[in-house]
Every structure is written in structure tokens, then in C-alpha cells.
Structure 1
Amino acid sequence: MASVQDTVFDIIAKEANIDRGRITPQATLKDLEIQSLDVVQIIFEIEDHFKINMPDHDPTLDTGSLSQLVEAVEKLVAAKDAPAA
């Protein structure tokens, strides 16, 4: 099974039509010159794939590193999969 990071990076590469090799944990969406419309599509694809809801208007989305994005997705997936109290 692919890791969350691999899946997120694959989604970014596909939706932004960029080489997967350019995508690193330290990169930001801004570094990769991903347009805002593509960012929206990337978020939709991540939400759909993992069956999660990303917070609206996350201020670190464009400026934070991709490792921060992956961490956020991992937390949301873990919270979704956790048994209800």
C-alpha cells in the first residue's frame, strides 16, 4: 500500500501536470509554481481519495512545506479511522 506522502505527491504531480521528481517534502506549492485553481483541484482530489475534509482557508497551504500538508492529511485520516468515543 502506498504511503500517504506518495499518494499526495502523485495527486499533486497528476493535477498540476508536473514531474513527480520535482516534488519533495521540503517544497511548497508556491515553489512548484502551482496555480491556485490547480491547488483547489489537488485538495478536492486528496479529500476524495482519503474520504476526508480539509479545513477551508488553511493559511499554510500555499506557503507551508508539502511535508506539512502530508502531516495534516495523516492526522485527518487517523481521526477519521479512530473509533468514536
Structure 2
Amino acid sequence: MVEGEVQGVGFRSTCCRRATELGLSGWVRNLNDGRVEVQIEGPSLQLNELRLWCERGPSSATVRKVRLSHLPVTGDDWFEIKP
């Protein structure tokens, strides 16, 4: 979960592009409360790299907090932006 000024600043599209470059799968979506939810799976090194990116976000974002949770693996092999 990513909190801050993270909607309307290209966070989802940039996150999707970065995750795809890293070979990760999962999804990203905006929540009604202004947060962005990201679910990703893949090798731990690449997961950590995307986590570090999420802590910064695109240059137009102001990230205040990234909250991590461990979820069951889905086995998907793509990354998408959910509505």
C-alpha cells in the first residue's frame, strides 16, 4: 500500500512499466481513499528494487509511506493496471 500524493501523478503507469522491466508480475490500482495498492510477485532482489522505487515514486509524486504485506502467490506472469 502506497500513501501520499500518489494519484493523478503517473504512479500506476510508471509502476507498471518498472515492474515489467524487472520481470515482475501482479497489478497496481488506485483506491478511493487516495492510496495506491500494488500486488507484485517475483524474485526477491527484483521485489526489493520495486519496493525501493515505490518509496520514491515518479518525480511528480510525494510518497509518505509504503506498507508491505505478504500474500499468497498467484502464479500470474503479467503485470497490469487495474481500474
- Hey, which of these two has a bigger chunk of strand by percent? 2
Q: TM-score, normalised by structure 1?
A: 0.43
Q: TM-score, normalised by structure 2?
A: 0.44
Which one has a bigger Cα radius of gyration?
1
Give the number of the structure with larger relative contact order, counting CA–CA contacts within 8 Å between residues 6 or more apart. 2
